[in-house]
Amino acid sequence: MKEYRIAVVGMGAVGKEMVATLEKSSLPIAEVVPMVRRNIGESVVFRGKTCFTKKIQKGSFKDIDIALFSAGADASLEIAPQAIEEGAVVIDNSSAFRMDPLVPLVVPEVNPLDAAKHNGLIANPNCSTIQMVVALKPLHDLYKIKRIVVSTYQAVSGTGLQAIDELNSQVLAYAHGEKIQHSVYPHQIAFNCLPHIDDFLESGYTKEEMKMHNETRKIMGDKDIQVTATTVRVPVVRCHSEAVNIETEKPLPDVAVIRRILAEAPGVIVVDDPANKRYPLATDCQNQYEVFVGRIRKDYSIQNGLNLWVVSDNLLKGAALNAVQIAELLVANNWLSAVKKTVAV
């Protein structure tokens, strides 16, 4: 059996989770090669073996089969073409290529066949989009969703390690009666909610909100779905939560039937027992691979409306795990060979 050499580009919060997720993966792996543009020499342990981050240079990807990128859009735009040219298949976690019509945007539970159409590059969707489409795909297949209204409650780890440190330091400052400082976010995040993720656009929406609109339609393969989002950063370290409201074209069945449909869907766990105060919580979902759904109830203000509460670990299913699952999909189906197209960079 062939064993694969896998590069992990970027050793931030997601990059570290990529290594940890690869360690648990069933992929036959000969070597994991951590790569960075700076901070070379940092130790990384993979399956009991210590390796060190290597500086990216010409020829770095020559013997790499799959490269998982989590170093930001600028790095991806600069380095991904090199990796592809040198023979690696790139799975990119940044926003750089997601809406490129020649680049598949893949969530394995939702649109696995799109991965076969790659040209050496596959994009990993936005974290908040991933968990939402995993929960909504089985309902869309049966009842055709025509409109989605979503409000997100996103953890600070989505911004990175510095944001986690900032939240922790602000909580400590508050506990000690000290002045709270902020630099990562424009306002204090501890004990606060910031309705501002990514840059604002002229429309008044943020880039994060428009990512959910554009990416959902591409992943679901349906340009008619209308999506409007409000994305909020909350003082939670890990796991994004979402209040999702959908309107379908076809009449929806009883909630008990919807629970069963979702419980049988790949990658979904239903936690919906409000009588016993059981519903998905960020504190319960961290370090878990699945998307958790609860608070399932009809929206009686519109015809064919439904409300859902969706929670998932943004560093895992929202990033590292989804990337590794794409790699597993490529290997399992012998889809590593690239389609001959040109990537717009």
pLDDT digits (tens, 9 = 90+) for 282-318: 999 999 999 999 999 999 999 999 999 999 999 999 9
Provide the pairing of β-strand 66-69 with 226-233.
Answer: unpaired
82-96, 191-205, 232-246, 327-341 — which is least confidently predicted?
327-341
**Is it the case that residue 252 has pLDDT exceeding 60?**
yes
Average pLDDT over residues 128-149: 98
Nearby residues of 74 by Cβ (< 8 Å), 6 or more positions away = 96
**Is it the case that residue 118 has pLDDT exceeding 80?**
yes
Q: Catalytic site residue 127?
A: yes
Give span(s): CATH 3.30.360.10, the chain. Answer: 128-314
pLDDT at 38: 83
**Is it the case that residue 343 has pLDDT exceeding 90?**
no
Q: Say if residues 311 and 249 touch (Cβ distance below 8 Å).
A: no
- Produce one character per residue of 174-213: b if its CB has 16 or more CB atoms within 10 Å, e if not: eeeeeebeeeebeebbbeeebeebbeeeeeebbebbbbbb
Residue with tokens 């339609």: 217
CA dihedral 87, 160, 77, 68 (to 10 degrees): 10
Q: Which of 118, 127, 140, 285 is catalytic?
A: 127
Q: Say if residues 323 and 124 touch (Cβ distance below 8 Å).
A: yes
Average pLDDT over residues 39-64: 93
Q: Catalytic site residue 51?
A: no
Q: Is 26 exposed, middle or buried (0-12, 13-18, 19+ CB in 10 A)?
A: exposed
Residue 41: band (very low, low, confident or very high) from pLDDT cuts 50, 70, 90: confident
**Is it the case that residue 344 has pLDDT exceeding 70?**
no
pLDDT at 342: 41
Q: How many CB atoms lie within 10 A of CB 274?
A: 11
pLDDT at 43: 92
Residue 341: band (very low, low, confident or very high) from pLDDT cuts 50, 70, 90: very low
CATH of 4-125+319-332, one of 3.40.50.700, 1.10.1760.20, 3.30.470.30, 3.40.50.720: 3.40.50.720
Give span(s): CATH 3.40.50.720, the chain. Answer: 4-125+319-332
**Is it the case that residue 338 has pLDDT exceeding 90?**
no
pLDDT at 39: 79
Average pLDDT over residues 215-244: 98
Q: Which of 118, 140, 239, 240 is catalytic?
A: 240
CATH of 128-314, one of 3.30.360.10, 2.70.70.10, 3.90.1150.10, 3.40.228.10: 3.30.360.10
**Is it the case that residue 340 has pLDDT exceeding 60?**
no
Q: What is the largest CA-CA distance in the chain?
A: 61
Angle between helices 13-24 and 321-332 (to 10 degrees): 40
